[in-house]
Amino acid sequence: MAKIHTLKISNFRSIKDFEQVFGQSSFVCIIGRGDSGKTTILDAISYVLCGSWNLSIYDTDFYDCNVDEPIEIEATLYDLPSKLLQESKFGLYIRGIDMTTGTVHDALEDSHVEALTIRLTVGRDLEPRWCVTNTRQEDIEIRASDRASLNMFFVSDYTDRHFSWSKGSPLYSLLKQDVNASQEYGNPIIDALRDAKSKIDDYSFTQLDSVMSRIQSSAADLGIDIQQANSTIDLKDIYVKEGKVTLHEDNIPFRLKGKGSRRLLSIAIQVEVSKSGGGILLIDEIEQGLEPDRAQHLAKTLMGSDMGQVFITTHSRDVLVELSAGNLFRMSKGAKSLFQFNASLQAVLRANPEAFFAKKVLVCEGETEVGILRAINSHGVTNGKGSASLKGVRFATGKGSTQFSYAEGFLHAGYPVCVFCDSDVQSTKSQKEELAGKGVVVIDCEEGLCIEKQIFKDLPWAGVQELVNAQISIFNGSVVDSIKSRYVTHGELKPNWIEIDDFNLRSATGAAASKNKWYKSISNGEELGHVCCSYLEKIGDKRLKSIFTDLINWIENA
């Protein structure tokens, strides 16, 4: 079961210099923003391990289209087919991997794992050259057939040939395995085509008789006798067309099935090919064409399989929740290596899978804060500023007490992190100070206040009236009763209380909003945020204004 231990890429498409040690990882999921280079990594693997000799390279495959700097792709592999390690093949080029340190050595020692390094080089002549390299020896060419023995398979949008029985296809590989296992000889596809030719030979083609008679007469006039000529099919055309024998279902070719079904079938064929000797499976955007449940099932099945080594890319949160955090690697644009996530981030991954695709993460205490941020984002877009999506910022919910552990988890995963939180629990003060000391930006309310109390304390009274009247229209008298019960220590509410801007009334209203969970959902939090944004310029020099300003600046400066 050949596996890639180390991959090096130079001057290939969007990657200038890159080196990644995958070690003993059998399942690798690469995530990252669009155009970060995820697909380039899979393409690089497919190129260096390509089992064909006619790889097409173009000027646009060179980094910055600079053909004066050659493309170089190196893959160091272990668990190799024994035939490649024979002295008559590449036995003199065996290198050693120290699995405890992850380092590769030119000299093989007893504690090392045997490995070979395959290098693809392409210069300005656009001719690909593959070799096995080791500084102890001069590089030696490796043929396409030897590379094909590594069973590298790339699932792409162009999988139609995978459903044919032509030479070089996965189905043909399975056929050869069965033929060899049963000690039978010959190709049943070719045998069937020969039988078909025999039946065509016996067909009279009487409709062609008159034309043939005229040609025979003219040929005789010119001195050539073709009286025994007949019409049938040329063997050459049959053998050239053997790839036209393909998988069908109810007389419908599999190539006409939906994208998801075609990709699943291609993977199923490769899984069977890999069962005999392993392989390296590459799947770009594994969720393409699949419903969320089928994408989840596919990812989980492949992660738990023993078919060899699997590399996938994804933009699907449904796929991520099925994976282990230790299987995730993030690619950033221009990065020289991948960032491997730690298994300790599993809880964070399950709670906020979408955030792992972001450039920066803003961790909120709860759904109210997420809703407020959505409103801030909409306000910015309306006013001609870039969206959070454009900036690569994701709003993640910390679900109360887990907010700080989630923030620390994202920080350890290499993301810039901001925390948007309350200050109504004294015990969280030290946690916030600790996070701030580690580089997390903390944006919080005044001491002793949650966000609802902060808003009702600082918002212009017209905004308070708007919020209260909206709640009254939904819950009627219970809203007023709730405010009364919290204002009672300051006296009775006056009949026109809603017209009077009073500090104690603001406090009672904020407490009622928090206690009765007026805004404890993303949608309600968003409505609260929209009202705050509409009065933003009228708030003045108060904490609420600085909270919103700091949040806006953190998003815009991503």
Would you give per-residue pLDDT tens digits along the chain (558 residues)? Answer: 799 999 999 999 999 999 999 999 999 999 999 889 999 999 999 999 998 888 999 999 999 999 999 999 999 999 999 999 999 999 999 999 999 999 999 999 999 999 999 999 999 999 999 999 999 889 999 999 999 999 898 886 555 566 666 666 666 666 666 655 454 555 676 777 777 777 777 777 777 778 778 877 777 776 777 787 777 776 666 655 555 667 767 767 767 777 777 778 777 777 776 666 678 999 999 998 889 998 999 999 899 887 789 999 999 999 999 999 999 999 999 999 999 998 888 888 888 899 999 999 999 999 999 999 999 999 999 988 889 999 999 999 887 778 999 999 999 888 999 999 999 888 788 999 999 999 999 999 999 999 999 999 999 999 999 999 999 988 877 899 999 999 988 888 888 999 989 999 999 999 999 999 999 999 999 999 999 999 999 998 999 999 999 999 999 886
Question: Which H or E run includes 75?
Answer: strand 71-78
Q: Which residue has the tokens 């993301």?
A: 415
Name the phi and psi angles at 383, rounded to 5.
-95, 20
Which alpha helices (DSSP H) does 162-231 contain, by range? Answer: 170-181, 188-201, 209-221
What letters, b where the CB count within 10 A reaches 16 and e where it falls short, cover 211-240? eeeeebeeeeeeeeeeeeeeeeeeeeebee
Q: Which residue has the tokens 């590399």?
A: 311
Tokens of 364: 């909120």
Give helix then strand counts, H and E, for the chain: 20, 20
Among residues 242, 92, 116, 98, the alpha carbon closest in space to that of 175 is found at: 242
Global pTM reads 0.81
Q: Which residue has the tokens 């939180």?
A: 421
Look at residue 208 in the predicted model and tell me its pLDDT: 75
Query: Beta-strand (E) ranges in 290-342?
Result: 309-313, 328-330, 339-340
Residues in CB range of 383: below 8 A, 6 or more apart: none
Look at residue 166 in the predicted model and tell me its pLDDT: 65
* Inter-CA distances, 12 with 8, 9, 65, 110, 486, Å: 10, 7, 9, 36, 67
Query: Beta-strand (E) ranges in 398-471?
Result: 417-421, 441-444
Q: Over the Cα atoms of the chain, what is R_g? A: 34
Tokens of 134: 């080791």
Helix (H, G, I), strand (E, B) or coil at 63: helix
Look at residue 94 in the predicted model and tell me its pLDDT: 95
Helix (H, G, I), strand (E, B) or coil at 12: strand
* Inter-CA distances, 226 with 214, 216, 229, Å: 11, 6, 5
Contact 321, 296 (CB under 8 A): yes
Name the phi and psi angles at 511, rounded to 5.
-65, -40
Helix (H, G, I), strand (E, B) or coil at 139: strand
The domains of the chain are located at 3-160+268-329, 179-245, 352-556
The CATH number of the structural domain formed by 3-160+268-329 is 3.40.50.300
Q: CA dihedral in degrees (305, 308, 313, 317; nearest 10)?
A: 20
For 313, counting Cβ atoms within 10 Å of its Cβ (0-12 exposed, 13-18 middle, 19+ buried), the class is buried
Look at residue 197 in the predicted model and tell me its pLDDT: 73
Q: Sign of the CA dihedral 411, 416, 421, 425?
A: positive
Among residues 244, 294, 240, 242, the alpha carbon closest in space to that of 268 is found at: 294
Look at residue 157 in the predicted model and tell me its pLDDT: 54
Contact 417, 425 (CB under 8 A): no
SS (H, E, C) 465-521: HHHHHHHHHHHCHHHHHHHHHHHHHHCCCCCCHHHCCCHHHHHHHHHHHHHCCCCCC
Our CA angle for 76, 77, 79, nearest 5°, is: 160
Tokens of 558: 């991503």
Q: Which residue has the tokens 């966000």?
A: 451
Look at residue 41 in the predicted model and tell me its pLDDT: 97
Helix (H, G, I), strand (E, B) or coil at 117: strand
Among residues 308, 261, 315, the alpha carbon closest in space to that of 284 is found at: 315
Q: Tally the residues of the chain.
A: 558
Look at residue 5 in the predicted model and tell me its pLDDT: 97
Strand 328-330, strand 360-364: pairing: unpaired
Contact 353, 320 (CB under 8 A): yes
Strand 71-78, strand 113-122: pairing: antiparallel
Among residues 55, 65, 64, 60, the alpha carbon closest in space to that of 121 is found at: 55
